[in-house]
C-alpha cells in the first residue's frame, strides 16, 4: 500500500483551519443539523435546495448544490463517526448522472473551544477516485474554503441577539398593565392560560400555522 498522490488525485490531502467567535455547541449545531447546514454549504452564490444530513453513524448524506446559473451538483456520502460536540467523520463525493460516486473524500472535522471561541479543523483525504475526477478534486479546497467563510456569516447571525424596540403613545403604567395583566394580554398576544409578572414564572402557549403546531415555553427572568 502506498500513500503516493496519483494523477487522478488519490491520497491528496487538505487541511483547512478556521476560528469562529462562537461557542463550540453552536458551531456543532450549525455543522450537523440539515436546516442550518443548507444555509452555508457550497461556494458563495450557491444554494442547497436538497440537504439530507442526519448526523448519525451509518446514515447517508445527499446534498444538491445549485449554482447561480441553475446547474445542480449532487453530492453523496455517509456518516462514519459522530462524537458531539467535538468530532465528525464523514465520507463524501460528487455524483455522476447515474448517482454513482466519482470519488470519495474522508473528512475529519474537529472542534476545540477556547475562551468562548471555536477552532475548526477540517482534515480531508481522497480515499477513492475514478478517471476524470481530478477536475472536481482540484476545486475542493477553494469550494470548502468559501463554504467555511459562509459558515462564519451564519454563526454571526445565530449569535447576535434579536432586539426589537417600539415607542407607544401611552404612559408607562398603561403599557405595563397591557403586558402584565393576563386578561389584557389575551387581547393582543396569544391565548394564555395564566400569567404572573414574577421572576421565575414559566408559561406555555401554542400557535398553529399551515398544519404545523408550534409550542412555546417562556420564562420570566
Query: Does residue 208 register a pLDDT over 90?
Result: no
- Secondary structure letter of residue 164 according to DSSP: -
Of 95, 48, 53, the residue nearest 76 (C-alpha): 95
The enclosing domain of 111 has a CATH number of 3.30.530.20
Of 27, 89, 63, the residue nearest 143 (C-alpha): 63
One domain for residues 88 and 196: no
One domain for residues 115 and 205: no
164 belongs to a structural domain: no
Q: So what's the pLDDT on residue 54?
A: 97
Q: CA 24 to CA 42: how far, in whole Å?
A: 21
Phi then psi for 117, rounded to 5 degrees?
-105, 160
One domain for residues 188 and 141: no
Mean pLDDT of 73-90: 98
One domain for residues 182 and 134: no
One domain for residues 150 and 205: no
One domain for residues 147 and 187: no
Report the domain count for the chain: 2
One domain for residues 102 and 196: no
3 belongs to a structural domain: no
| Residue that terminates a domain, selected from 130, 159, 188 | 159
5 belongs to a structural domain: no
Question: Alpha helices of the chain — where are they, by DSSP H?
Answer: 24-32, 34-37, 134-138, 140-159, 172-180, 182-185
Mean pLDDT of 83-103: 96
> pLDDT digits over 99-132, tens only?
999 999 999 999 999 998 999 999 999 999 998 8
Query: Does residue 97 register a pLDDT over 60?
Result: yes
Return the percentage of the chain with pLDDT > 70, whole number: 99
Domain span at residue 30 reads: 13-159
79 belongs to a structural domain: yes
One domain for residues 152 and 193: no
Q: So what's the pLDDT on residue 2?
A: 58
Q: So what's the pLDDT on residue 135?
A: 83
77 belongs to a structural domain: yes
Q: CA 152 to CA 130: how far, in whole Å?
A: 33
One domain for residues 79 and 102: yes
187 belongs to a structural domain: yes
One domain for residues 104 and 188: no
> pLDDT digits over 144-193, tens only?
999 999 999 999 988 777 788 899 999 999 999 999 999 999 999 988 88
166 belongs to a structural domain: no
Which residue's entry shows cell 475529519? 108
One domain for residues 110 and 204: no
One domain for residues 97 and 188: no
- Report field, pTM of the whole predicted structure over 0.85: no
Mean pLDDT of 139-148: 95
| Residue that terminates a domain, selected from 159, 192, 209 | 159
What average pLDDT is seen over the chain? 93
Amino acid at each position: 500500500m502506498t500513500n503516493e498522490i496519483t494523477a487522478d488525485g488519490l491520497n491528496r490531502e487538505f487541511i483547512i483551519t478556521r476560528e469562529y467567535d462562537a461557542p463550540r455547541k453552536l458551531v456543532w449545531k450549525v455543522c450537523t443539523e440539515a436546516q442550518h447546514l443548507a444555509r452555508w454549504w457550497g461556494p458563495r452564490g450557491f444554494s442547497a435546495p436538497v440537504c439530507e444530513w442526519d448526523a448519525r453513524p451509518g446514515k447517508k448524506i445527499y446534498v444538491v448544490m445549485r449554482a447561480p446559473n441553475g446547474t445542480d451538483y449532487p453530492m453523496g456520502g455517509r456518516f462514519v463517526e459522530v462524537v458531539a460536540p467535538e468530532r465528525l467523520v464523514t465520507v463524501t463525493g460528487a455524483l455522476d448522472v447515474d448517482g454513482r460516486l466519482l470519488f470519495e473524500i474522508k473528512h475529519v472535522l474537529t472542534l476545540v473551544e477556547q475562551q468562548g471561541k471555536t477552532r475548526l479543523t477540517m482534515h480531508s483525504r481522497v480515499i477513492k477516485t475514478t478517471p476524470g475526477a481530478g477536475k472536481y478534486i482540484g476545486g475542493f479546497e477553494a469550494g470548502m474554503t468559501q463554504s467555511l467563510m459562509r459558515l462564519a456569516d451564519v454563526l454571526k447571525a445565530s449569535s447576535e441577539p434579536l432586539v426589537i424596540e417600539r415607542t407607544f403613545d401611552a404612559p408607562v403604567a398603561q403599557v405595563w398593565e397591557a403586558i402584565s395583566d393576563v386578561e389584557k394580554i389575551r387581547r393582543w398576544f396569544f391565548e394564555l392560560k395564566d400569567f404572573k409578572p414574577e421572576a421565575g414564572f414559566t408559561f406555555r402557549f401554542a400557535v398553529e400555522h399551515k398544519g404545523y403546531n408550534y409550542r412555546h415555553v417562556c420564562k420570566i427572568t
